[in-house]
Amino acid sequence: MKVFKLGDRRSIEEGIKHRNSLLKFFTKKYGKPILVHSTHDLKTFKKIISEGKIKRPSDHSSFKKCPYMEKVLGIDNCIYYSLGFVYASRYDFEYSFIFDLDYLKELEYHTYSLSWKCYKKIADYIFETNPSYFDKLSEKSPVCAQVVDKYLNKEYKGETRNFFDFWKAEKEIFEWVKSYLGIKEMKRIASKVKRQKFIAYPYSVRSSKKVCFSEKIPEILSRNEVDLVKSPYFLGFYISGRIPADVKKILKNKYKGKILFDGKKIEVIR
């Protein structure tokens, strides 16, 4: 998928190193990690800051990046947060909203990306029971062939089958899985994964502090829109690169007192 394309050009180690270097600004300032909602799209970012709200998918017209398994999991109408700057560091998403860790009181915390964990678990099951079935996925498109090749052959720490980039061709991969398992079995697996990876508050705070500088990438969900002006948890923004003049104007008019981070320093909007 185009918005995740940069992740293929940057190694996992490079992404983690960059992510941790950004996060250290905040653990030093606040004594704890922060939560982040990111977007790669300037148009979307401007719309959010103009309206002052991060809306649920059902309330805006932006496309969904990975809708199929999300719908099976019942999380297709959620707002997604990461622990630290996961998308900004791995995929160069340029615009991020920063929230205090105490926001976990109102959010659902999962130790892994639920969609990824479901697809990976299913891919492993198919490999163990009928590895030749991957040939059918490879035949669907060149992108699917790349996903299969990476899953079967790319090594990480001396092991293969660590990767399953389902988001690059989710529609085709979802149909491939459904043909093998059936929708009922997919829902059973999804429900089990969701139960196993959920951590309730306040244990979610402990988990986040423990793993924030590790390779683990928790997935944090909200089922409610966020009013940025009224939220007691909203801290401010991370914008990498040049800030357009119209964005500067909105920030100064509407978000005085919030922080603005550029990757090198944290300032207050005045």
**Which CA distances in Å does 212 have to 20, 30, 34, 90, 197?**
8, 14, 9, 15, 16
Stated pTM of the model: 0.93
pLDDT of residue 91: 87
203-253 residue pLDDT tens:
999 999 999 999 999 999 999 999 999 999 999 999 998 999 999 999 999
Beta bridge partners of 267: 260
Helix (H) / strand (E) element for 256: namely none
pLDDT of residue 7: 52
99-113 residue pLDDT tens:
999 999 999 999 999
What residue spans define the domains of the chain? 2-107+201-268, 114-196
pLDDT of residue 58: 87
Single-letter amino acid, residue 11: S
In the chain, which residues have pLDDT < 50? none
